[in-house]
């Protein structure tokens, strides 16, 4: 008789962290809560993630939420995925608690611009600045009875993230030069997203960020690897494995 396999609490925490990161990386916008003279103030912001899944926001100094966080950097973000469900509360949602900090990292800025190309028109303005949200905890609601707090260490994708950040620009350029047909095929067959003009905008140990041109609607999508890859060199084999699954009819979102 095969031995029973029991999931430890550490395993469960890692699984919750993976689910939370997938939700964060798949969303291009989030509800953003700051404190205005001690009272909650909620707005809608464009969001991106660093390679380790740390959220990034490009904010104007003139916006009320920026004035609020400059007085009190404690903030919260809500990412949600209601999909096409009639009951929006049935979809997964993740609330993050943390602090907003100015980010002067050029790679992070490039990542945000790739995720939100329309931001290029104002990213260079003197009153716009990139902020990194230093996450302290998260609260995931993934379905009935699947509700849990997640600590910061489990929300970050730490394995290989630094190497991917350093190599990302080269990987993205290579994939967009050599693998456009493969990327489009994976978007169509695995993600059920139409269109042949999908481009890679970001890569991390857990998958690819994709987008279509603004003239085609500016859609975004997230393509997850079957399992996290340890090094940038493992990206192409991981894509080949996904392509094989798609050919075999094992598509999923």
Per-residue pLDDT reduced to its tens digit, 93-138: 999 999 999 999 999 999 999 999 989 888 778 899 999 999 999 9
Q: Supply the pLDDT for residue 215.
A: 85
Closest CA to 23 of 68, 67, 83, 87: 83
- The answer on pLDDT for 89 being more than 60 is yes
> Do 72 and 149 belong to one domain?
yes
pLDDT bin (cut points 50, 70, 90) of residue 253 is very low
> Do 220 and 137 belong to one domain?
no
> Do 186 and 127 belong to one domain?
no
Phi-psi region of 73 (alpha: psi -120 to 50; beta: other; left: phi over 0): alpha
CATH assignment of the domain containing 54: 2.30.110.10
Helix spans in the chain (H): 9-26, 64-71, 106-115, 152-155, 161-178, 180-189, 235-247
CA separation (Å) from 56 to 46, 76, 77, 126?
A: 9, 13, 11, 18
> Do 90 and 147 belong to one domain?
yes
> Do 229 and 127 belong to one domain?
no
Per-position b or e across 27-55, b if 16+ CB within 10 A of its CB: bbebbbbbbbeeeeeeeebbbbbbbbbbb
CA separation (Å) from 120 to 109, 112, 209, 241?
A: 10, 9, 18, 34
> Do 25 and 83 belong to one domain?
yes
> Do 23 and 138 belong to one domain?
yes
CATH assignment of the domain containing 243: 3.20.180.10
Question: 109 is in which domain, residue-wise?
Answer: 9-155
For the entire predicted model, the pTM comes to 0.90
């Amino acid at each position: 008789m095969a031995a029973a396999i029991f999931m430890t609490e550490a395993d469960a925490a890692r699984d919750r962290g993976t689910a939370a990161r997938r939700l964060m990386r798949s969303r291009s916008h989030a509800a953003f809560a700051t404190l205005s003279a001690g009272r909650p103030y909620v707005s809608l912001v464009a969001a991106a993630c660093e390679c380790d899944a740390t959220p990034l926001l490009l904010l104007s100094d003139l916006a009320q939420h920026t004035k609020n966080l400059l007085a009190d950097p404690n903030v919260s973000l809500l990412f949600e995925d209601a999909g096409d469900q009639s009951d929006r509360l049935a979809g997964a949602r993740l609330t993050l608690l943390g602090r907003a900090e100015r980010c002067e990292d050029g790679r992070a800025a490039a990542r945000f611009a790739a995720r939100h190309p329309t931001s290029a028109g104002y990213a260079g303005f003197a009153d716009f600045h990139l902020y990194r949200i230093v996450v302290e905890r998260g609260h995931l609601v993934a379905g009935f009875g699947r509700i849990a707090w997640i600590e910061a260490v489990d929300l970050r994708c730490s394995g290989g993230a630094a190497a991917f950040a350093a190599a990302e620009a080269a990987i993205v350029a290579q994939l967009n030069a050599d693998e456009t047909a493969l990327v489009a095929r994976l978007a169509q067959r695995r993600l059920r997203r139409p269109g042949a003009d999908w481009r890679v905008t970001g890569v991390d140990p857990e998958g690819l960020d994709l987008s279509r041109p603004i003239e085609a609607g500016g859609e975004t999508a997230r393509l997850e690897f079957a399992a996290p890859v340890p090094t940038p060199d493992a990206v192409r084999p991981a894509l080949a494995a996904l392509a094989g699954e798609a050919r075999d009819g094992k598509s999923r979102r």
